Chain A
Amino acid sequence: MFGTGSGQGGKDVAVAKAQQTKVQPWVEKYRPQGVDDISYQDEVVKTLKNAIQTGTLPHLLFYGPPGTGKTSTILAVARSLFGPEYRSRILELNASDERGIKVVREKVKQFAQFTVTGLEKTAGYPCPPFKIIILDEADTMTTEAQAALRRTMETYSKITRFCLVCNYVTRIIEPLASRCAKFRFRPLSREVMEARLRAIGTAEGASVTQEMMNAILTVADGDMRKAVTTLQSAHQFYGGSSSITPDAVREMSGGVPDGLVQSLWEAISTQSFDNLKAQCDEVEMAGYPTMAVLHRLFDLVVAEEGVEDAKKAVVMAGLARAEKLIIDGASESLQLLDICALMMRTFLGKNRSAGSGVCVSTPMVL
């Protein structure tokens, strides 16, 4: 009896071990470790490598779209400077931490106060005498908190370096930005992303058809995280079956299929309001994100030949307005119906009743 019991336990542990190794999502598993693993951001990497060699580092400001390697780069820099024990030398504060003025000041103060000279050096690493404070997602900090940061940066400038990381550099206040060396991270090129995805696919035993690869590269649009997540999802979700279509890839990352936009376009051309309404209801019922539909309509309108530019401009203004209103919180279904109706009127020259006194397509002051 005891025998079976322990045998059972042993198996459990083995299973648990196996599970644990699988636990990591690929984005984390294949996060670049060293500065050299960062793809595509050559200028950034070159400059930073210089800094690492000399052990001198200015305050840094990394900016660029999501999934281009900003967080990975600063962590890699810290690793190259301080070796595997770099964790004790960095303080990472991000949008998931409380970052009110007082909290930041307190945390930075506490962290900076421990003198660094006493810290052990790891052989083979420069280990310069400062600590790095990473303010990830800094563009979500209030301007007040950013303003308060100026003083903190100056007070501890001898023993700390700040690295601000953000998507929108314009949301960092100028006095703060001007204290930092700025590095722009560019959306990754298709070639670079493809090479990396292929390497990951091979390592994980995930087969990737060229069609699927192209679809992933298109939806990722330079965002490496999205590319890797989509690759893993496709692998797990479709169990490696090769039947996965580009539409399915688009859907996994919140996009919409070609056919859907096409049927909307056709409904618009029928000139029947009821047809259009039915088609818009269908989009809503299917659960497609309206924002993605708007973006596809935008592409469609731009590419459409045989429509005068002036008319396109009217529709573009309408699309822009609809997007803004949805971000404000307006109803997606109403906005979609409204913009599609506008397209119907504009492209197909449906005349407004002269006597109604209201011209619908006049841009409104909001």
Chain B
Amino acid sequence: MLWVDKHRPTTLAKMDYHEDLTARLEALSEDGEVPHLLFYGPPGAGKKTRIMALLRQVFGAGVEKTRLEHKTFKTPTKRTIELTILASAFHQEINAAEAGSGDRFVVQEVIKEIAQSYNPAAAMGQAGGRAYKVVILTEVDRLSRQAQAALRRTMEKYTAACRLILCCNSASRVIEPVRSRCLGIRVAAPSHESICAILNKVSKKESCGVLPEALAMRIAQTSGRNLRRALLMLEACRVQQHPFTAEQEVKVPDWEEYIAKLAVLLTEEQSPQRLVLARDMLYELLTNCIPSDVILKTLLRELLPKLDDQLKHEVVHWAAFYEHRVRVGSKEIFHLEAFVAKFMALYKAFVINTFGF
């Protein structure tokens, strides 16, 4: 089992960092009654961990006895939708965004079905049973507006038998009528210090000896305050070199290194040849399933430190511009390449202007 999963705290009492949030979740679960909730925050901040710990507080250890169900549905338009549902006796976890354009159907049928078919009397016969069941909907921010709209009355009509816990990165992408039906719970990314403390704790539990402070901090920084990534990196470090040393390398994924290389190539030389080279590299990234917005953001992150303040303004602007193009367009490579070309033009013009050659 990976360390990330092995050392995931399962109760609110064992939860690290954001102590105030933990205390409030404890207060919330006190009378066994939770309203609809909307958890939002950056990736790897610990939203799911907190949701599960909250459920455990409310329903008891039974929520951990989960099974995976694969279900297929037929939409009225004869499309087949496949869905994986993680279910315990008390809750179900669904990623409706998996259904793609069929997401509205999933919300309309599947969730309503769960809400309608719930038998509180039977459930309350079991230990930990409540008058309501919980449906966790992950990645709600990726649901279409129609699918989100379909949640509105469902959340009101079946509220006695079914509570929704929505989980997302971006609360901005959840429509207002849904947000106003939930208690919003923000989970911020852990600070570098909190990450270091957790890395230390895990390292101790795994009997890996001392984790040098400098190494822990470097992992925390490289992870971008994403605890999941940080723990994966720590485990990779352990495999690579043990006992730990302060200077040892913190491995980032290959594709990130590849993008860093691209950034160097772009600042070294601005020419049609370089553009052709860059195109090949972008294709390589895309064929390896790196999402284009991630490519663009990572490239920007690598480029910015190499630039003068004035250029930063311009490059950020065009990165934002082309990232939007990537989203609304249909051929990603066009817009990625356009950004690269734009960057080279800006860079070259700046150099000529400043140094006169």
> A interface vs B, CB < 8 Å?
12, 16, 19-20, 22-25, 27-28, 66-67, 71, 92, 94-98, 100, 103, 136-137, 140, 167, 223, 225-226, 229, 232-233, 236-239, 251-254, 272-274, 277, 284-292, 325-326, 328-335, 337-338, 341-342, 344-345, 350, 352-353, 355-358, 360, 364, 366
Contact = CB atoms under 8 A, between A and B. Distances in A.
Given A94-B153, A287-B189, A338-B316, A355 B353 contact: yes
Contacts of A353: 310, 350, 353
23 contacts: A19-B130, A24-B160, A25-B36, A28-B156, A95-B149, A97-B108, A136-B153, A137-B149, A236-B183, A237-B28, A252-B183, A273-B312, A287-B40, A288-B186, A290-B172, A333-B297, A334-B316, A338-B320, A341-B312, A353-B350, A353-B353, A356-B349, A358-B346
Given A226-B180, A238-B24, A356-B350, A325 B324 contact: yes
B183 A329 contact: no
Interface residues of B, number: 78
B313 interface: yes
Given A225-B181, A331-B297, A341-B316, A285 B42 contact: yes
B20 to A, nearest CB: 10
Main secondary structure of the interface of B (DSSP, over half): helix
A345 B313 contact: yes
Contacts of A140: 146, 149-150
A189 B311 CA distance: 49
Contact of B309 (A27, A95, A272): A272
Contact of B316 (A12, A292, A337): A337
Contact of B124 (A12, A66, A95, A289): A12
Which 6 A-B pairs have CB atoms at the shortest separation, nearest pair first? A287-B41, A355-B353, A291-B172, A330-B324, A289-B171, A338-B320
A273 B146 CA distance: 39
Interface in B298-357: 300, 304, 309-310, 312-314, 316-317, 319-321, 323-324, 327-328, 346, 349-350, 352-353
Contacts of A20: 120, 131
Instruction: Tell me the dominant secondary structure on chain A's binding face.
Output: helix
A252 B25 CA distance: 13
Contacts of A98: 76, 105, 108-109
Given A25-B36, A344-B313, 8 more contacts: A23-B132, A24-B160, A95-B152, A97-B108, A254-B171, A286-B186, A331-B324, A335-B320
B64 interface: no
A332 B42 CA distance: 12
A223 B152 contact: no
Given A288-B186, A345-B313, A355 B349 contact: yes
Contacts of A357: 349
Interface in B186-232: 186-189, 225
A273 B310 CA distance: 8
B159 A24 contact: yes
Contacts of B243: none
Contact of A167 (B169, B170, B177, B317): B177
A335 B321 CA distance: 8
**Residue among B33, B177, B188 with max Cβ neighbours from chain A (10 Å):** B177
